[in-house]
Structure 1
């Protein structure tokens, strides 16, 4: 995600080393899905062991924490814009230009309806977490199909533009002197789908209703092959749209289905295929008859269990907030010095990536070494205390 957010005059070749160049899948989809998966696992387990009240209290506390981080980042950025020389010029496209004391803009910020560039995922996360308790209740009661159907229905309404009934007048109501009102890079009605998919899968996992050996084992090898074929089909289309190579007649048909802001059908199909293929290779690939697939699976497991990456993961909220600070600082430095050459831009980009480890290292500086916790198995359910919540105990 940080690679995607490094904006420098003259460009940066590091941003091209990203899978989004060959598929309609970006870091944001993975971030949203994994966030939902963790909510499903952690809060689903809490629901089973401590009850619904404990789960709701935990989610509410997390929502408040995320809200504080979000508005803290926004107001800090606006203060820097107004106080630093050249700040308005450097960040006017990212932060707009309305004064910090404008009551309409302040209201939009506090209600998370004005989301500056690169600060638009946490507000979605907060909104999705508000709906997570109801979804987890359905899943634990064995009504996961209702949860899937509700998420699919909301996504469908988004594709039909239903949200514009509310968003257009709201945008006009919140508009200030810089001609910006409602500002969101993502339509939450569309982007809730990968998050809720993660919540549902996480809940099914902890309640023992899903067996990974059936979903990501030899029985689904052909499905993994189909997912790979989908990726191969869309790869040339992604390259063509990125470089203006698609014929106009074809682009007119293709473009309405390739809307990133509302997580359109093209992005949905690509993410579903990429996510399943990735998971199958990492888990089912370990028992594949082909030696090269087993080697690839082993390599993926080795890479994603490196201590340096796990360190970032343990402090993901703080790393996310810090990455926003870094990319804004990089933008200001670049704008203040009229840009640099390839060597300067590459050095700045690598320096920003290296600095991502500062918050995790700082937070763990006084950590007492302890035995590493036993990781849950990749195949099989997590061990809950109860298999599921029965209808008669939902209120407990």
Structure 2
């Protein structure tokens, strides 16, 4: 706890709240969707997750087996959340057929519920908002060879290979190719993995430098700051149409393939972030956002289910109500993100108090957490004994 960086938890919580607002689809999304430039909360979340993955990995000669075990443990946890979400959305669709028709349909074109479950389990069909977890799962499996290479000093190979994959992604989308070959109407996600791995690898590298080599002086040269300020300001003005930009140029800020100008915008904001974060001690953070960020996986999964569940109400609020009602509705929905964070915190404490982490122990811990989700800092078992 003493070594925890509450600044990063706070940032992850902020990104989660922004994604919730964007996906909810109320008028508040006008203020939260890419407000500082052509940088989405999803991109920042992926990069920060890569950083945290490397920073929490073993620092001293971990060896490939240890890295593989840790990566598989984390990836398996992400996959469990993904699969449970698929089951929950399938149950929701069976109750209300209106949930079937999304920007990305819940079911593939050829096949119903069983096809959706099968292709979804194989990560070959990802309904709306469901493409972050599969991407996270695959990137976690990619991390052990990257970290092993970095521990051996092959920094240039890792960074060079990542840039080469990103360049390939500017001309080729492996998911589109796979969808065409399958011919079943499945959707393998809107993010080109060849391109988006650049964000994950950049985060991995920054986390490795910080954890293993104790390097924290990123982009300290004043020239880096000056360039970043100019670029960030220019992208901000262009994003809000305060600077005349041609449509041809805007094509280079495209999100799905992570085009070159979007990468430049992300890089400029990353430099500014590295300068600004030094002004805040690691022990400081915004408590509510920090709580969400610490339990980001259950909170993120809960937000997807909530977006689907509330969609019939959300679009009516957005269409028929003014900004004040939209604000109150969005704030109320955001407040519910506290629930999975509190529940998982209580679950963790019950699990720790229970000793061995067997399936029976996990079920008991879930039951205890359900009875005492607001236990705060008190041991959950002590509460249950009362």
TM-score w.r.t. the length of structure 1 is 0.75
Q: Whole-Å Cα distance in 2 between the matches of residues 211 and 323 of structure 1?
A: 35
Structure 1 contact 24–270 (Cα < 8 Å) conserved: yes
* Alpha carbons 1:4, 1:15 under 8 Å: kept: no
Higher mean alpha-carbon deviation, 93-102 vs 193-202, is at 93-102
Q: How far 1:151 moved relative to its partner?
A: 0.3
Residue equivalent to 1:138: 149
Cα deviation code 1:290-344 (max 9, x no counterpart): xxxxxxx35xx59961222221122111111111122122213335889541244
Which runs of structure 2 are paired with 1:275-354 in the superposition (5 Å)?
275-283=270-278, 297-298=279-280, 305-334=285-314, 340-342=320-322, 343-354=324-335
C-alpha spacing 1:174/1:64, structure 2 compared with 1 (3 Å): same
Counterpart in the other structure of 2:215? 211
What is the CA distance between 1:34 and its match in structure 2? 0.7
Q: Secondary structure at the match of 2:29?
A: helix
**Residue of structure 1 equivalent to 2:126:** 115
Compute the RMSD of aligned alpha carbons.
2.9
The CA deviation at 1:346 is: 2.4
The separation in 1 between residues aligned to 2:254 and 2:308, in whole angstroms, is 26
Could you tell me which residue of structure 1 aligns to residue 166 of structure 2? Answer: 155
Shift of 1:102: 4.5
Determine if contact 1:171/1:182 at 8 Å carries over to the other structure. yes
Determine the C-alpha separation between the residues in 1 that align with 2:228 and 2:318.
Answer: 45
Partner of 2:237: 236
Structure 1 residues not aligned, in runs of 5+: 284-296, 371-396
Query: 2:194 aligned to 189, 194, 199, which one?
Result: 189
2:240 aligns to what SS in structure 1?
Answer: helix
Matches of 2:343 and 2:118, distance apart in 1: 34
Structure 1 residues 361, 173: closer, same or farther in 2, change over 3 A?
Answer: same
Question: Residue 57 of structure 2 is aligned with which of 31, 37, 43?
Answer: 43
- Separation in structure 2 between the aligned mates of residue 363 and residue 72 of structure 1, nearest angstrom: 16
- After superposition, the Cα gap between the structure-2 partners of 1:84 and 1:308, relative to the gap in structure 1 and judged at 3 Å, is same
Q: Distance in 2 between matches of 1:232 and 1:42?
A: 33
User: Equivalent residue for 2:31?
Assistant: 17
Is 1:356 matched up with 2:368? no
Does 17-26 or 190-199 show the bigger shift?
17-26
Alignment partners' CA distance in 2, 1:8 and 1:44 = 35
Cα distance change on mapping 1:87 and 1:337 into 2, 3 Å:
farther
> 2:73, 2:152 → 1: CA distance?
24
Contact map agreement 2:64 2:145 (CA 8 A) in 1: no
Q: CA deviation at 1:86?
A: 3.8
* Alignment match of 1:265 (pick from 260, 267, 274): 260
Q: What is the number of residues matched between the two proteins?
A: 333
Residue pair 2:99, 2:308 contacting (<8 A) in 1 also: no
Q: Do the aligned partners of residues 197 and 272 (structure 1) sit closer, same or farther apart at CA in structure 2, a change above 3 Å counting?
A: same
Look up the SS of the partner of 1:260 in the other structure: coil
Equivalent residue for 2:80?
Answer: 68
> Could you say which residue in structure 2 is the equivalent of 1:26?
40
Are residues 364 and 183 of structure 1, via their aligned partners in 2, closer, same or farther at CA, if it must alter by over 3 Å? closer
* Structure 1 Cα separation of the partners of residues 42 and 318 of structure 2: 30
Could you tell me which runs of 5 or more consecutive residues in structure 2 were left unpaired when the two chains were aligned. Answer: 1-15, 350-375, 379-386
- Checking the alignment, whether the CA contact within 8 Å between 1:86 and 1:336 is kept in structure 2 is no
Once the two structures are superposed, what CA deviation does each residue of 1:147-171 show, in whole Å capped at 9, x if it has no partner?
100100000000122x35x733x21
**Closer, same or farther in 2 for the Cα pair 1:167/1:18, shift >3 Å?**
closer
